[in-house]
Structures are given as C-alpha cells and as structure tokens.
Structure 1
Amino acid sequence: MTDSAIDYAAVFQCLPGMVALLTPELVVADANEEFVRVSGRSREHLVGRYLFDVFPDNPNDPASTGMRNLEASLYRVLATGERDAMALQRYDVEDLERPGQWQERYWSPVNAPVHGPDGKVVLIVHRVEEVTELIRARGRSGGSRARVLEAELYTRARELQELNDRLRQAHAREREVALALQEAMLPAPRQVGHRRAAVRYRPAVGALNVCGDWYDLVDLVGGNRIGVSVGDVVGHGLAAAGVMGQLRSALSAASRVAEGPAQALDILGRYAHVVNGAESATAVTTFVDCDHHTISYSSAGHPPPALVHPDGRVEFLDRATDTPLDARPDPIRRPQATATYTEGATLVLYTDGLVERRREDIDTGLARLADSLHRHRAEDPETLADTVLRELLPPGGATDDTALIVVRL
C-alpha cells in the first residue's frame, strides 16, 4: 500500500492513546477520539483553544504544578526542536458537569516536534498515557500501606519539584548577572564615521544559555576606514561572558594598529592562547576602506560575512577562512582576501545562532539569510536588522546567542 492510499487523518483518530496536535502558540490544532473521550472535553471545546485555557491548574491548590510542568516541557520542545518525555504528573481536571469540582488525574505525557521544510517546529505532538485507574487500583489492592507509600512518593515528588524551582531561580539570577555583564562590555549601537550601522544582540532561550557572542565597530587609524567584527566564545554563563569581554577588547585594540584583518586575528589568536576558556573561539573581522570601496577580511572559523550589493546580489565573503582561535599550538599567518563594493551596498556580520539549526546543513541557513537580505535590501539598517532576526530566529527563540551587525556602505 502506498502513502497516498493511507488515510492518515483516519489513522490519527483511531490511535489507541490520547494524542493532540498543538501549534507553536500552544493552541490545540486537532485531537484524536481517545483524547476527547478521556479528557471529557468535546472537540469544539478543544480545537482552536489555548491548551491551558482548557486545562488550567487547580486554583484551589496553590501547590499544583502539573500544568506548569507541562508548559515548561512544551517550550523546551519549541526551543530545542527535540522530543521531551515527562515523568508521571498529577493533574487536577475540572468536571464540566460540576463546575468548581476538580478530579484528581495522573497522566504520563510525551511531547515531540514536527519540523517544517525550514527546520522550524510547526506542530507539537502531545501524547498522554492515562494511568489514573492504575494508581487507584494499586491503592485499593495494597490497602493502607500502599496509600502510605503513594503519599510518601507524592511528597518526595513535590520536594524534588520545589528543589528544581529553586535551582531554576538560581540559574535565572546567574543569567541576569551574565546578561548585565555582557551588555556592559558590548559597544553601544552608534554611528560609525558617516556610515549608518545597526547592531543587535539576542540571548539564547533558557536560564543557563547566556553565551559569549560579541560584536565590535571601530574607527581605524589612517584614512576613511572602519573595522567591523563579530566573535563567539564556546560555553555558557558568566565564564563565557568574561572571556568574550577579553577577546573583544583585545581585537578592538589590535585592529587599530594592525596592517590588516589577518594580522589583527594573528594577534588575537596569540592572546587567546593564554586566556582560559578561549579555546575554539571564533571571530571574523573586516576592514572597510570607504574611500576606495574595498573590504579586506579574515575569518578564524566563523560564518562568512554577507555583502549585499545594490542590485540584490548577496556575496558571502568566504575566501579567507581559517581555523578557530587558539586551534594551533604555534599559530601561522592567517589568510586575507579583499572584495569591492559600490555605494549603497550593505555589509552584514552575524554569529552562528542566526543561521545554524539542529539536523540542518549550514548551507540551508546561509541560503535563508541570503534570501531575506535580498528581499529586504532597500530597508534602512535598523529595520533590516529587525526583519532578519524576525524571519530567521525560531518563534520561541534560539538555543544559541545571536549577534548581528548591519552597516550601510
């Protein structure tokens, strides 16, 4: 039997377990017959509604966390694009025939992503195993001892949940400190010479995912020249933010005295060799000569800058790519290349959070970026930066930081 001969809609409805399809906004797109039957909700009550409007936490039980845990799981699927299996959860579900009366239920959920052609999560398969009757049967058959054990297990589960909540709060505080440190060390958005420039920084989703992405814009000595750079430090949290600050400052200083971008990266690589945490960091720097309309560039393992010509052609500057910083025990001179541009061109530098996705070739992300830049090339740098981020970053945010610089030449 071929795929075209299979009625997948009918198969979905007949699945023996509870299954619902959710949009990235957590709205119920569809639910099978078993989900409708066991949940006690009609299709009209489910489809098209926000999941947690249909199934809120019990307002009479401040310690109720089942729906909160489910929401966190669903957002993890959106952020990571990966399947998330949950431990057994207790849910209190309101009896529609007796408003205000809540029934104790036990469900074991698994949430899995459905990816679209662009790699983004377009649907979440929310499968639930109903185990309420099993829990109750064990209680009845085992008598008081079983109920005591069940109560102890439930208490331990609550304690673990409270511990997880405290850990998340601690991680959130670390994230706030790291973000404040990172923002303090990144240069503020400003005009570079007489050129219009826009910069953006978007932290990764998740409490511990503040990373070491950075950007820099400098006026170079000698002539009407500017330096534009971005880089990425491996790791997360305060340590990565601290290393980022050291490397950004070092490259900014090196660019002002170096003969070209390759020499600036040579200097930075030697400095990275003595900085703990700088291993495998990447960077790309460009020297723009605004009088001669040339861009000299060199890359240390970083995605290539994009040069958008006024006619819409997008050229990736990838002819001078080398290994990441501190990749060699004895650094050798890095390559350097030059590109030309005409008045009105746009230079775009970015970090890998903008173009890389799990289970997707990097060329797919670069093609997506080129298409966005081509279609919106007439927009001013500020608008173009916002548009690119809106079109390329996942709806729930990326799992890696993203730095972006847009300079109109």
Structure 2
Amino acid sequence: MSESGGPDVTSELRLPWDDDPEDLYEHAPCGYLTTLPDGTIVRVNQTFLDWTGYERSALIGHLRFRDLLTPGYQIYHETHYAPLLTMQSQVHEIALEVVRADGSPVSVLVNSTLERAAGGAPRVIRTTVFDATERRGYEKELLHARQIAEAAEKRVRVLQQIVADLAAAPTEAEVAEAVLRAPEPAFEATSSSIYLVDVERDQLIAVASTDPTTGNWDDMPRSSGRAVAEVARRGDLHVVHNLAEADEHFPDLARTMTASGRKTVVLLPLTTGPAEEQAGATVLGVLAFSFADERELSDGELRVIRLLGQQAGQALDRARLYDDLQRREERAAFLAGTTRALDEEHRLLQRGRRLVERVVPEIADWATVRLHIGSAGLREDAGGPGPDEELLAERITEVTRSVMPVFATDGDELGCTVLPITARGRVLGTLSLRMAAYRRGAEAEQAFLVDLADRAGLALENARLYEQERAIARSLQRSLLATDVPSGDPRFALETHYQAAGRDLEVGGDWFDAFLITPNRLAVVVGDVVGRGLEAASTMGQLRSAIRALANAAGGPARLLEGLDLFCQRVESARMATVVYGEVDLDACELVYACAGHLPPLLHQPAGSAEFLLQARSGPIGTRAGDRRRTEHRMRLAPGSRLLFYTDGLVERRDRPIDRGFEVLNREFSRLRGAPLKGLTEALSDTMVGRDHGDDVCLLCLTLGAEERLERTLGADPLQIALLRSDMRAWLIAHEVDQDCMDAVLLGCSEAVANAIEHAYRDDPFGVVDVAATITGDAVEIRVTDHGTWRGPGQSRGRGMQLIDEAMDDVMVDRGDGTTVTMRRHRGARS
C-alpha cells in the first residue's frame, strides 16, 4: 500500500528481470558501435556482426568505422559526417551504405554521440546503426513514381505548348514545323521527319526533317511498300522496336536504321479524328521519329503520341483550309492586278511582254508568250533557261490544234504547261510556263491558269482591235495631211512632223500644209480644229482645201483669214479653229503672217536668239466675240533663218503654266539651232512630249535661203553624218557649187567627222563635233573640230585621211585642245 492508502502501482508494474544487461546489448534490435575519436572500432554488438557478416576479431582494433562504408560514403563521412559530429557532438539519422563482409552494400541509418572528457577533449564515439534496406526500397519506389509523374507532367506541358503552337500556326508549313519539333522535348527522340499527303497527286511529300542525311527521305507514292506509305494507308500508329523487327516487316526502314544507327522508330499518322475512329478519320501526313537506343514506350506515352497525331492532323486540316483561302485570295489579286497591268498597255506587243513580266517570277520560273495574229508575230520569253525547243514547239502545235491546255505532270519530259490564248472563238497564241513541281497537279492551280489564259486572251484581242482601229484612224488622218510639200528648191527647205495622241483611237484636227502660190511665193500654214473624231478630220480637210483655194486669189494672210470667217458660215464645224498662216517672198526673203487664235511661230535668225512672233494676232476662225478684224505683219528674214510653226500639243501641259512650255520650247529650239534640218522636228517632238502623249502634235520648220556660213554641231553618233550630208548638200546647191566640188567636199567632210567620232570619242558617247563651212569666190573651206583625245599621231593617217587628201586640195591638222581638220577645195573641175 502507498502512504495515501492506495495500491502501490510501481510495485505492480515491476516485473521479474532475468535478462542479462550484456545479452541485451549484444542482441539489441539495432547495431551498436563504440569507436575512438579517430574512428577505430573498440566495441561492437552481435546484431551488427550478424547484419554485416564480420567477425568481432576482424573489426575491433583493426578497422575504423569509415572503412566499413562504400567509397562514395567514405568521402561523405570525411566531408560531412565527421565535421558535423565534431561541431555538434551528435548526429541523427544519417543515411549511409555499409559494405558487408561479402562485399554487398546495405543501407543504414546512423545516430552518433561524441562523449568528451572533463577538459572537453573527445573521448569516445557511440553509434547506433539501423537497417534501412526496406525504407530505401520504399524511397526508391516513391522516387521512381515521382520521376514517372514528373515525366508525364513534362510531356503534358510539352504537349500543351505544342497544341498552343499548332493553334497559332496559320499555314501548313508552320504547322509542319511545329509538329517536327515536338518529339525531341516530349519523348527525347533523336531525330524526326514529316511527310504530308498530296491527295491530287496521290503522293507523300517529304516536307522537313531534323536529320535529312539519314537517307530514304524523299517523296513517294501512297501505294509504295515503304513503311511511311503503309502507315499513311492504314492510319494507325506503328512502333518498330528494333532492327530485327524492321528487317522483318519494312526492309527500307531497316536500311535507314542501319545507316543512321537508330534503334527504335515511331511512325505516327496525322489524322483529322481520333485514331480509334478510323471510319471518320483522314490521314493528312505521317510523323516519323526515332531513338538512338531501343525504347519501350509506356501506355501513357503511347496515349500522348496518339493525341499528338490527332492534334497535328486537325491543325493541318485547318491550315490547309486557311492556305487554300489565302491562295485563292492571292490568285484573285494576281488576276485582278494582271488585268489592270495589261489595261495600262494599249499595244499588242507591249501587252504580251507585260503578261510575261507578271507571270515570272510570281507564279512561274520561266514563261513565254507566242502570238501569231496576222503579221503581228511575237515571242516573248522571261526567266531562266527554257525547255527543249523542239519538244515545246510540238506541244504548242498540239495545243493550238486542239485548243485544249496541256498541263505538266510528274515525269513529264518537257516539264512545261502550255495554255491556248483564245478570244471570240479564235486562237491568238499560247502561254507556256514552268511552275514548281509541287503545284503542277493541283486542280485549283489548273483552273487558275485557265482563267489567266482567258483573261490574257481577252486583253490581247482588245489590243489587236485597238491597233486595227488605230491603224485605220492613223491612215485616215495621214491621208488628210499634206504629203506633197514643195522640195528641191535651193531657196528654202521644209521639215515636218506629225505625232498622234498616244492613247486615242480617234483622229484629231491638227494639220500642216505648205505650197507655192506662185513660183516665187511660198505659203505655210499650221492649224487645229476643235474636237476629235471623223467630223474634226473632215473639217480639217475642208479647211486645208479652202486655204489653198483662197490663197490663190487672196491679197495676203489677213484677207485669207477673212475668207475663212465667211467659210465658217457654211461649215459650222470649222468655227473656233485656230490657224497661223504665212507667205514668204522667196526672192526678197520677206515674211508676212497672221495668227487666228493660234500659238505664235518661233523664229531663229542666224544672228541673235530665238523669238516668238507675237504680232498680227486675232481670234479663232469664225469667232463671234471680241475683235474680229484680221491683221497681218510683214518682216524681212536673213538667209539661213529658221521658222517653226506648231500646235498646242507641243507646249501645253496640265501640270505646268503655258509660259513654262514656251520657255522650254525656246530653249530646246535654240539648242538645236546647229543641228541639221533633217530630223529636227522629230527630235524636238521627242524632247518636248515623248512618245506617249495625250494630244496630237504638228510641227513645220522652214529654213529660208542659204546661210552665208554653215555651222552645225553633231553628237558622237555615226547616224548624224547622213543628216549633215543632206544639210550640207542643200547649202552647197543654194550657193551654186559645181557637182565635182560638191562631191569632193561632202566626201572629205564626212570622212573627217567619222574620224573624229571613231578616234576622239571612242569611249565617250556624249562627245560633240563642230562643223563650219564657208564659201568664197573660188573655194569651199570646211573645218571639223572635236574636243576629245586621239590615241596617237598615227591614228590620223588612216584610210579616212587618205580619202580626205585625195578629195581636197589643201588639208591641215591642228592638235591643240582637241583636233581640228581644216580642208579647202577649189571650185570647178580639177585639171
């Protein structure tokens, strides 16, 4: 009993204890070790000896505790366990591996306590050791499960990113690129390739690969016996686990695996629906990826792989719809742009060239248009080297005869599509082009090309009709212009030019005329009828006839204009026409002129600058407003004067004031003052308006009398020599030079100019040659000067100089700033 009177609990719990304390130490459920501070084992219990298989005598006094550990844990004992025990005097649940007597490792958990002496120096280490084999196995299982979960999570993240990339990829090429990148991060694949199905060509197209050197990576028919084609036909996932399996079922794949060193290959169909729903799924491609080692894929990995194939297939389907829509929009824009581009050209040949320029390189790398419309044949090529000419000619003949297009196909020797260009039931020609192989067989592409050829045919037919009508209009207009202007009279020379509006089919009302009223009186006229078309052209012809009739009886330009005013009372369409009319007394070198609402003539006399003749102006023909009195102005002209008559198309522009047009005309006419008369009006028209202008242009240039001194400036162009000869011949005739002297002077002058162009300006196309000629009572003197550099003195003694020496009486060559050749020829025949 206790002091409180209750039962004695302690005496009731105390049991008889027969166990020996030593026996309890030896057979405790854990191992015990006692070591010195340096780790030498001084005591060990039987439990530890049973676990490890050591004899007590082999341990005590012979080994340290660290000597029982595996090599890695010996390092750990030295770097972590021992320092930590020294600092803290105890450590708990340290995981180590002990090597048994038979060499096998055993996992243990260790608790150690460092006992110190009275002065604090280490005295002894007591260690308990627990068997952790089962715990380590459990931890390994947990770690393995965790690794599997992390790998699955990683694959899911990768798949999510791939799905996001596929959703963001708008085109088939971008989808293919995203799918190609998927196997490496998702499944640690070594390489991958992707093939897409071309339904119309019934082929598998090799699109991309991360390792294109592995071989067997090319296009193939879907009927092929190769592994990729087989998977595309069957539409189910196929895993080739090793080389033996590949060799048994797919020899082509076995060769590829052998060459590349791959051990496992996965062939994944890219389908529009789940793999288990084969009836509703369409295979759009195959993704092939491989591993460097033999790989067993888990069920989870296979599910993810199938999900990838489904997501990729759906993305491809969406991208193909997008690509198709975009391609349709691009083709529609191309057709619309081509139609506009062809409409910008009005001539048949230019439209044919523009068509080829549009086709290459946007839709083809080579193209040619061949037209055979009457005499307007055309062959226009563009791009790189064309196909075999003989084969192409045969196909063109076939297409022209059948009026059916022939499209290039795989294996086609020519490799070129030929389309007939037709309009209104007739074949105008053919369009031949070479396109990229992967686009040849597409039905949409063929329909697009047929549409292109149809539009081209309509545009070219319109151009043909335009040129036909244009030719009729031009023939009509030119038939109404003066074609019999006087010529061959040494007292004057005429040069005319007419340029029709570049884009107008209708004839205009501009005209010029020149005729002799009497043997000594020359009439010149330029006019412009209001409006365009046949009525304007008819009125122009009537006015021209009326002027010729009135000039015979009129008393001068003023009276002639008054007669035209009366003429307008009977021909209403002639009202408001403008006319500049002049009469030249060829013997007295006197001009009398009048302007009825027309632009002023431009006069350039030998001395002085060019000037506009602004006197004797009045309103247009038949005007009912303003001053209707007709006046005229008389003036003398120096021999050699040039007088230019023109219509408003030469100077008027919508984007500049008329005064600016007069300034430009004055400058350009002055610049051409030294040019030969032949070709002067055409050159002036080209400079002022170009070749594509919206209004008609008429020019008439009159050179009056023979200049006392002929001065001309020529460009370094051999074609200029013929113009100079024509001008100089007229000048020599006007001065009554005999035939022998004239022939000699023309020969010597031509050779001297040719030498200057050839030797002084051989590398300078912008050089000029100055020619000056004077006539005295007994001789003609010519001086030809250039400002270039001849190669050497010997260059001046060639065949040309020999002809000059033979033709001329005196020849002198002066080399200073350039070269001057002075030649003199006596008048009259040589003895």
TM more than 0.5 = yes
Matches within 5 A, 1:115-130: none
Alignment of 1:66 with 2:337, yes or no, is yes
Q: Does the alignment pair 1:278 with 2:574?
A: yes
Equivalent residue runs for 1:8-407 within 5 Å: 66-73=337-344, 99=365, 172-188=467-483, 189-191=485-487, 193=489, 194-221=491-518, 224-328=520-624, 332-394=628-690, 396-407=691-702
Letter aligned with residue 73 of structure 1? E
C-alpha deviation, 1:172, in angstroms: 4.5
Q: CA deviation at 1:335?
A: 1.5
1:404, distance to aligned residue in structure 2 (A): 0.6
Q: CA deviation at 1:170?
A: 5.4
> Relative to total residues, which structure has the larger helix share, 1 or 2?
2
Q: Helix, strand or coil: the match of 2:479?
A: helix
Residue identity in the other structure for 2:595: S
Q: Which runs of 5+ in 2 are unaligned?
A: 1-330, 348-357, 368-446, 705-831
TM-fit CA distance, 1:161:
9.9
* d(CA) in 2 for partners of 1:181, 1:95: 42
- Find the counterpart in structure 2 of residue 37 from structure 1: none
Please give the alpha-carbon distance, in whole angstroms, between the structure 1 residues aligned to 2:475 and 2:682.
22
2:694 match: secondary structure: coil
Matching residue's letter, 2:649:
G
Aligned-residue sequence identity (percent) comes to 33
2:626, 2:535 → 1: CA distance? 25
- Partner SS for 1:364: helix
- Match of 1:367, as an amino acid? E
- Secondary structure of the structure 1 residue equivalent to 2:527: strand
Contact 2:516 2:523 in 1 (8 A): yes
1:235 is displaced (CA, Å) by: 1.4
Cα shift at 1:227: 0.7
2 CA distance for matches of 1:100 and 1:346?
Answer: 54
How far, CA to CA, are the matches of 2:541 and 2:338 in structure 1? 40
SS in 2 for 1:359: coil
- SS of the residue aligned with 1:277? helix
Structure 1 gaps of 5+ residues are: 1-59, 77-90, 102-150
Is this contact kept in 2: 1:372–1:388, CA < 8 A? Answer: yes
Contact in 2 for aligned 1:385/1:404 (Cα 8 Å): yes
For the 8 Å contact 2:506–2:534, the answer to whether it is kept is no
Shift of 1:256: 2.0
The farther-off stretch of 186-195 and 297-306 is 186-195
SS at structure 2 position matched to 1:236? coil
Measure the CA separation in 1 of the matches of 2:362 and 2:478: 49
Deviation, structure 1 residue 214? 0.5
CA displacement at 1:216 relative to structure 2:
0.8
TM-score (norm 1): 0.60
3-state secondary structure, aligned to 2:570: coil
- CA–CA separation in structure 2 for the residues paired with 1:160 and 1:280: 44
Say if 1:75 and 1:337 are closer, same or farther in 2 by CA, change over 3 A.
same
Residues 358 and 288 (structure 1), Cα distance of their counterparts in 2 relative to 1, 3 Å cut: same
User: How far apart are residue 286 of structure 1 and its match?
Assistant: 0.6
2:575 partner SS: coil
Compute the displacement of 1:160 (Å): 10
* Aligned equivalents of 1:167, 1:368: Cα separation in 2: 37
Are the aligned partners of 1:296 and 1:337 in contact in 2 as well (CA < 8 Å)? yes
Q: Structure 1 residue 331: deviation in Å?
A: 8.8
Give the Cα–Cα distance (whole angstroms) in 1 for the partners of residues 536 and 455 of structure 2.
29
SS at match of 1:245: helix
Partner Cα separation in structure 2 for residue 330 and residue 319 of structure 1: 17
Between the two structures, name the one with larger relative contact order (CA 8 Å, sep ≥ 6): 1
